[in-house]
Chain A
Amino acid sequence: MEEDEFIGEKTFQRHCAEFIKHSQQIGDSWEWRPSKDCSDGYMCKIHFQIKNGSVMSHLGASTHGQTCLPMEEAFELPLDDCEVIETAAASEVIKYEYHVLYSCSYQVPVLYFRASFLDGRPLTLKDIWEGVHECYKTRLLQGPWDTITQQEHPILGQPFFVLHPCKTNEFMTPVLKNSQKINKNVNYITSWLSIVGPVVGLNLPLSYAKATSQDERNVD
């Protein structure tokens, strides 16, 4: 059994800094927010999405509960931009705020987020669950309370949704061990966020994947 890969807070902050550096290069608008006493902090990004529109679910089938959609049919349906435009008029813009914090108890990063309509109405936990990408729905429905819950933000003290971190090591460890075998430097935050982000509508541009390997080649 492989030993779990934890990261310390300093490593967390260092990887966040590298992540933000690339974010600035591509205009992805992540920023670091120190806590009031500056002893720690978190990464933050604000992002707007159209509800039930193009970004969250390409099948647009979240309202139809097609978890058993046969693969054959799924592939017959091309990504239909016309459908997206029709639904966009009837749907609304949602403001998402994503925060990446360090959890001392789990020794891993944790994704906090909140969402509201432009008029300020917050989304409910139920709204969030319904908005989870189709491909994660099955797992979510098996244990919604184990997956996304609502908690108080450790630094801001306001209610946020949280993607539960207790299995983070399970999915991060194999990836990190595999990369270590070939002496490849991996930005923990980049890898981790690329995995958990899509669950809640946050997709990292592909250039982040290349940023890490470029850092290896151009050792400044």
Chain B
Amino acid sequence: MAEEPQTVLQLPPSSAAGGEGLTDVSPETTTPEPPSSAAVSPGTEEPAGDTKKKIDILLKAVGDTPIMKTKKWAVERTRTIQGLIDFIKKFLKLVASEQLFIYVNQSFAPSPDQEVGTLYECFGSDGKLVLHYCKSQAWG
């Protein structure tokens, strides 16, 4: 089902996005350094017959956290929250002392080892999982 590959960003996009509305920015200006296999893996997997291997995630910033230019991502179900956190931190160029938190339902932080596929099953709607992210100094 290759509907519109440009609506969901699979990787540093090779296909021109052409301003579909769901990705906010055209490929050339999106990522300075393509985070190659962080939350998104090279699009070599074929979408399986029944279960999609990837799920759509919509990232929303909370508070003063910088907003990601690309908000919609296709992510493998087995990616952990920790993997996603690392990806967003790199994308936003946060320093190591800054902690990034991800929330489902806007208020609950899943544990770092939680897989996004499970979160999608529990909290996804309209074909996507909405995750809020917030940067903070965490402890001390």
**Among listed B20-28, B44-52, B107-115, interface-contacting one:** B107-115
With a CB–CB cut-off of 8 A, which chain A residues contact B97?
138-139, 142
- A128 contacts B by Cβ under 8 Å: no
Closest chain-B Cβ to A54's Cβ sits at a distance in Å of 9
List chain B residues, Cβ under 8 A from A75: 37-38, 41, 79, 83
Q: How far is the CB of A116 from chain B (nearest CB, A)?
A: 23
User: Whole-angstrom distance from the CB of A118 to the nearest CB of chain B?
Assistant: 24
**Are B87 and A167 neighbours in the complex by a CB distance under 8 Å?**
no
Q: How large is the interface on A (under 10, 10 to 19, 20 to 34, 35 or more residues)?
A: 35 or more
Is A125 among interface residues, defined by CB-CB distance under 8 A? no
Q: Are B139 and A164 neighbours in the complex by a CB distance under 8 Å? A: yes
Which of these, A143, A164, A191, contacts B107 with CB under 8 Å? A191
Question: Which secondary structure dominates chain A's binding surface?
Answer: helix
- B interface bracket (residues with beta carbon within 8 Å of A): 35 or more
CA distance A190 to B107 in the complex (A): 8
Q: Is B68 interfacial (CB-CB < 8 Å)?
A: no
In the complex, the answer to whether B83 meets A175 with C-beta atoms within 8 Å is no
Chain B 81-106, CB-CB to A under 8 Å as 1, else 0, gives 01101110010000011010101111
Bound Cα distance from A27 to B138, whole angstroms: 30
- A184 cross-chain contacts in B, Cβ below 8 A: 106-107
Chain B residues with Cβ below 8 Å from A190 are 107-108
Q: Which of A30-38, A82-90, A99-107, A201-209 contacts B (4 or more CB under 8 A)?
A: A201-209
Task: Name the B residues within 8 Å of A199 (CB-CB).
Answer: 139
Residues of A within 8 A of B110 (CB): 194, 206, 209
Contact with A along B51-90 (1 / 0, CB 8 A): 0000000000011110000000000001110110111001
Contact across chains for A146 and B140 when beta carbons are under 8 A apart: yes
Interface residues of A in 78-118 (CB under 8 A from B): 78
Contact, CB under 8 Å: A175 / B134: yes
Contact residue among B62, B83, B138 (Cβ-Cβ distance under 8 Å from A71): B83
22 A-B contacts (beta carbon < 8 Å): A71-B83, A71-B87, A71-B90, A72-B37, A135-B86, A136-B138, A138-B97, A140-B139, A163-B139, A164-B139, A164-B140, A167-B140, A171-B134, A178-B106, A182-B106, A191-B108, A194-B108, A198-B109, A203-B113, A206-B104, A209-B105, A209-B110
Name the 9 nearest CB pairs between A and B, nearest first: A146-B140, A174-B63, A209-B108, A203-B111, A171-B136, A194-B109, A186-B107, A198-B111, A147-B139
